[in-house]
Structure 1
């Protein structure tokens, strides 16, 4: 780590660890922030954009219609930032059939499980170190990095750098374990303090602080991004979990990394907060657009089913198709609570109406995709067959 970059940092201090290397320890939150008209205006625009999205979540007759696929899209994009190569359709195919064995798909599914469990636990447990460890335990269960003590804070030094870089070659060295524990304790106090910061600014600060502390041996980036959603939902800024920033962070990945580092080296809080608020504005608008497109598809499919006089089960299945645009006959049977042949008949009706397409080419373990829904969610097409028939 180039210590010269951090010697005069207003955001933290350098410490020499017992191993003789230097590490960076961030100051406690909150930092001193200077507000001007431009930043206040950006904050206002972000609040308006988020309010529009939150209002949409309140008016939806079935919010889960959007929550289910949106969580999965976020899981894919947040994991992609960390190098996991999996698409939304890969994940949905795995969930529909559980035939896909690739480790990276399982990693993304773990992200979904961590997100869903975290959202459920918000009503039972405050945002805390225990809450964070729980999410990490689910995220890292049974996947690459499982050796990295799932659900436990690190007991050894980690570092950030290019692939294969040693500690001495690291770009950044987070706090040594004793300092790390104190930083985490202070972060928890900040989360519980009831500060008067705008929730979006609070989320930006917490995300930076967590990433800088880097308390796990693996999975820090994904947990840090999960924390943003958890915080905004707990602070009641989001009525439903429909805002996810990973698409923006993935698209601007280098800026994302550079600005986090710049806060540590030069105290560039304003630049980081501006970046974060722009992410909120863009992704709120994106979520609203995708939500409206899915609502349009729901109306179109319902009308088409009625015009073609499809059986009632096919009309009911339209609801599932919007939530799970890749599905199997078993999935349809469970949703419709009918016999297996009855589920096959409903799927066939949607195939003939042009809503579903069989995507595996198999004689058994077939899966069906609603490509228009996939495109509305992520601009994707259906997955190619990747396993042996």
Structure 2
């Protein structure tokens, strides 16, 4: 049997090379402070828009890492409603979306509150409101047991599965989780960013639930990062960046969990991923400013609720090409109504037809004029 990290003498007393981490850690803390400073300089409305965008990405992408795809409009509406943000018409969210949003907001908005068994049980129950993972009934709101055999992370077709990791036996969970929670809630003995990275690795290695461990581990890391910044406002998404680097994420986790108690490699990867998440926040800021400039430039111009919805989707980064059929699907209208909406915006110079033409005619926004924002900051 493979010797996983949790079987080693000394577990969970992790070690790492301070000399190796000192430079990257100093750089990431500088970037973190710089990003927070830039975002704090935004006006309230722009800052709220950036937070809404970031939290939406965090919820959607954390689920995508596990192969689960949530409706982005439902997630955005659920978050906006819970934060008291006015985004116009709200899309009704199903109870699964509401549960994922509830967990993430509790982790990031109530970051100062202690983490406990009961809080984790509530998060887990929120993730699985039907008591099932897919069609499989699972233990919800409690630690896993051995009824389904050892907890393993596997891939590959049935009969040729590859075991990537085997978690500690269920009988160890009360003691393992008590040690983890005591450390997590205790005073910081090292840099808070390192604490977020260690918390992620430690929790996902214990793997205390039948399902949902990855999503909860990322929520715990976000909670620790919020503590490191002293703010509930989120301007970057680690989950969105991990989604982009999912292959590397799983590889470094597997290597670390099959290695020794020196977790320098994992910490370096986490710091690097966080740095790249900050780069993603710069794109979020650019999109928020572009969106604000657009609506300021068109203040007082008439837009129907349907037009406003689709234009906002374009401003937020619409995936693929916008066609009249996609417009009709997004707004739940007939093709004729969709085409009338589009032609109105084309006539006003807000949308432009792409040169392809024909039945596959697609449309894009005309360039947004780079005008300064009233009471805001420039995009430079």
Q: Same fold (TM over 0.5)?
A: yes
**Conserved? CA contact 1:107–1:140, under 8 Å:** yes
Q: Which residue of 2 aligns with 1:54?
A: 36
The correspondence for 2:142, drawn from 145, 152, 159, is 152
The correspondence for 1:74, drawn from 58, 61, 79, is 58
After the TM superposition, which residues 10-21 of structure 1 pair with which residues of structure 2 at under 5 Å, given as runs? 11-13=5-7
- Give the TM-score normalised by structure 1: 0.70
**Conserved? CA contact 1:91–1:108, under 8 Å:** yes
Residue 122 (structure 1) shift: 3.4
Q: Which residue of 2 aligns with 1:278?
A: 272
Q: Which residue of 2 aligns with 1:298?
A: 292
Tell me, yes or no, if structure 1 residue 177 matches structure 2 residue 170. yes
**Conserved? CA contact 2:107–2:223, under 8 Å:** yes
Residue 289 (structure 1) shift: 2.6
Q: Secondary structure at the match of 1:161?
A: strand
The correspondence for 1:130, drawn from 118, 130, 133, is 118
**CA offset digits 1:312-353 (Å, max 9, x no partner):** xxxxxxxxxxxxxxxxxxxxxxxxxxxxxxxxxxx52883xx
Q: Secondary structure at the match of 2:229?
A: coil
- Residue 264 and residue 113 in structure 1: after superposition, are their counterparts in 2 closer, same or farther (change >3 A)? same
Residue 93 (structure 1) shift: 8.1
**CA offset digits 1:143-167 (Å, max 9, x no partner):** 7528323322112242111266689
**Conserved? CA contact 2:241–2:273, under 8 Å:** yes
Q: Which whole-Å CA distance do the structure 2 matches of 1:213 and 1:380 have between them? A: 44
Q: Which whole-Å CA distance do the structure 2 matches of 1:209 and 1:276 have between them? A: 13
Residue 40 (structure 1) shift: 1.3
Tell me, yes or no, if structure 1 residue 348 matches structure 2 residue 331. no
Tell me, yes or no, if structure 1 residue 161 matches structure 2 residue 161. no
- Residue 60 and residue 121 in structure 1: after superposition, are their counterparts in 2 closer, same or farther (change >3 A)? same
The correspondence for 1:111, drawn from 100, 109, 121, is 100
- Size of the alignment, in residue pairs? 312
- Residue 80 and residue 143 in structure 1: after superposition, are their counterparts in 2 closer, same or farther (change >3 A)? farther
Q: Which residue of 1 aligns with 2:313?
A: 371
**Conserved? CA contact 2:109–2:233, under 8 Å:** no
Q: Secondary structure at the match of 1:170?
A: strand
- Residue 223 and residue 304 in structure 1: after superposition, are their counterparts in 2 closer, same or farther (change >3 A)? same
Tell me, yes or no, if structure 1 residue 33 matches structure 2 residue 16. yes
Residue 89 (structure 1) shift: 4.7
> Is 229-238 or 44-53 further displaced after alignment?
229-238
> Is 72-81 or 284-293 further displaced after alignment?
284-293
After the TM superposition, which residues 210-229 of structure 1 pair with which residues of structure 2 at under 5 Å, given as runs? 210-229=203-222
Residue 91 (structure 1) shift: 4.5
> Is 226-235 or 297-306 further displaced after alignment?
297-306
Cα RMSD between the aligned structures?
3.4
**Conserved? CA contact 2:196–2:224, under 8 Å:** yes
**CA offset digits 1:216-237 (Å, max 9, x no partner):** 1011111111111111213435
Q: Which residue of 2 aligns with 1:18?
A: none
Q: Which whole-Å CA distance do the structure 1 matches of 2:71 and 2:306 have between them? A: 24
Unpaired segments ≥5 residues, structure 2:
80-89, 335-380
- Residue 26 and residue 259 in structure 1: after superposition, are their counterparts in 2 closer, same or farther (change >3 A)? farther
**Conserved? CA contact 1:26–1:264, under 8 Å:** no
Q: Which residue of 2 aligns with 1:262?
A: 255
- Residue 143 and residue 379 in structure 1: after superposition, are their counterparts in 2 closer, same or farther (change >3 A)? farther
**Conserved? CA contact 1:122–1:230, under 8 Å:** yes
Q: Which whole-Å CA distance do the structure 1 matches of 2:243 and 2:228 have between them? A: 25
- Give the TM-score normalised by structure 2: 0.71
Q: Which whole-Å CA distance do the structure 1 matches of 2:197 and 2:321 have between them? A: 30
**Conserved? CA contact 2:156–2:162, under 8 Å:** no
**CA offset digits 1:107-134 (Å, max 9, x no partner):** 44432221123334435x3123332222
Q: Which whole-Å CA distance do the structure 1 matches of 2:130 and 2:292 have between them? A: 37
Q: Secondary structure at the match of 1:152?
A: coil
Q: Secondary structure at the match of 1:185?
A: helix
The correspondence for 1:385, drawn from 324, 329, 339, is 329
**Conserved? CA contact 1:89–1:374, under 8 Å:** no
After the TM superposition, which residues 217-256 of structure 1 pair with which residues of structure 2 at under 5 Å, given as runs? 217-238=210-231, 240-256=233-249
**Conserved? CA contact 2:152–2:165, under 8 Å:** yes
